[in-house]
């Protein structure tokens, strides 16, 4: 069974500083990993995903994430935070080896990012 | 804008009632997913359809059912509603439902059961 953990409910960062939102996962095989962002009263917006290949994945709005197999992590990063980045961020995992047929995204509990002006 | 549309945006109803949530996938997408987002359970996968057929089932209650129609829109039916069913219900779509594909989410339907 797959699972994903976001150890921080809340992350605060000053505008212009680098930000990191943490995510660790557990799957039986090689994971497919996704990051989504949810703004207030909006749906989830896709940021980036890791399927295979380069461990550093670049996505929308200047975000990137690094897949680390040994640490089973997929942390979301941005070099310089903007106030407009303030939102709820979700990490999700999909296990391509899952034989149950569920074959769906398992989401973490979310991390609320607040960028302070 | 993801291209996935959901109606209604908000729904207020009473316990014991039945409601229908509607979703239209992105143009060209054949697979539709339903998710529930609640404060205590987080984001949970409910059910997936591909080209009219049920493909996968998650934590969907027996009181809930869904279907995908020939024009590929989908409906989620919630019956015998309970207070605990109050949540944000999301629909997502992808091209074929493959494991590598990105799922694109709609804006959600906020259901309040009183």
Residue A99 has pLDDT above 70, yes or no: no
Confidence of residue A41 (pLDDT cuts 50, 70, 90): confident
Per-residue pLDDT tens for B47-94?
999 999 999 898 899 999 999 999 999 999 999 999 999 999 999 999
pLDDT number for residue A103: 59
> Do A76 and A90 touch, CB atoms closer than 8 A?
no
B65's CB contacts (< 8 A; 6+ apart) are: B76, B77, B79
Q: Choose from A44, A48, A102 for mutation: most chain B CBs within 10 A.
A: A44
d(CA B99, CA A94): 7
Which chain A residues contact residue B58 at CB under 8 A? 102, 104
Taking the C-alpha atoms of residue A41 and residue A63, their distance in angstroms, rounded to an integer, is 22
Q: Do A46 and B103 touch (CB under 8 A)?
A: yes
Residue with token string 């869904």: B66
Contact predicate A38/B43, CB 8 Å = no
Instruction: Verify whether the Cβ–Cβ distance B33 to A104 is below 8 Å.
Output: yes
Residue A3's pLDDT is what?
86
Q: Given A32, A42, A106, which is nearest B99 (Cβ)?
A: A32
- Per-residue pLDDT, averaged over B41-46, amounts to 90
- Using only C-alpha atoms, chain B has a radius of gyration, in whole angstroms, of 13
Q: A1-26, pLDDT tens digit by residue?
A: 788 999 999 999 999 999 999 999 99
The phi, psi pair for B84, rounded to 5°, reads -70, -10
Asked whether the beta carbons of residue A45 and residue B108 sit closer than 8 angstroms, the reply is no
Probe site for chain B from A104, A105, A107, A108 (most B CB atoms < 10 A)? A104
Residue B112: its pLDDT value, please?
97
Beta-strand relationship, A24-26 and A3-5: antiparallel
DSSP letter string over chain A? --EEE---SEEEEETTS-EEE--EEE-SS--EEEEEEE-TTS-EEEEEEE-SS-SEEE-GGG-EEEEETTTTEEEEEESS--GGG-EEEEEEEE-TT--SS----EE---EEEEEE-
End-to-end Cα distance, chain A: 41
**Which pLDDT band, with edges at 50, 70 and 90, does A42 fall under?**
confident
Chain A residue with the nearest C-alpha to that of B56: A102
């Amino acid at each position: 069974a797959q699972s994903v953990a976001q150890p921080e409910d809340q992350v605060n960062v000053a505008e212009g500083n680098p930000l990191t939102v943490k995510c660790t996962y557990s799957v039986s095989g090689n994971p497919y990993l996704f990051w989504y962002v949810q703004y207030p009263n909006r749906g989830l917006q896709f940021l980036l995903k890791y399927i295979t290949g380069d461990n550093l994945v670049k996505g929308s709005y200047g975000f990137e994430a690094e897949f680390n197999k040994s640490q089973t992590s997929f942390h979301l990063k941005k070099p310089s935070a903007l106030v407009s980045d303030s939102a709820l961020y979700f990490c999700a995992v999909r296990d391509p080896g899952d034989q149950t047929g569920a074959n769906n995204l398992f989401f973490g509990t979310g991390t609320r990012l607040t960028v302070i002006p | 804008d993801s291209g996935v549309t959901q109606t209604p945006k908000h729904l207020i109803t009473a316990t014991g009632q039945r409601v229908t949530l509607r979703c239209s996938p992105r143009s060209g997408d054949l697979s539709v997913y339903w998710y529930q987002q609640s404060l205590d359970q987080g984001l949970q996968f409910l059910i997936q359809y591909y080209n009219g057929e049920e493909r996968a089932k998650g934590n969907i209650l027996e009181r809930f059912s869904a279907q995908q129609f020939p024009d590929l829109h989908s409906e989620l039916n919630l019956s015998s509603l309970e207070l605990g069913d109050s949540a944000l219900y999301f629909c997502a779509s992808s091209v074929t439902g493959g494991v590598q594909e990105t799922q694109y989410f709609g804006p959600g339907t906020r259901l309040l059961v009183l």
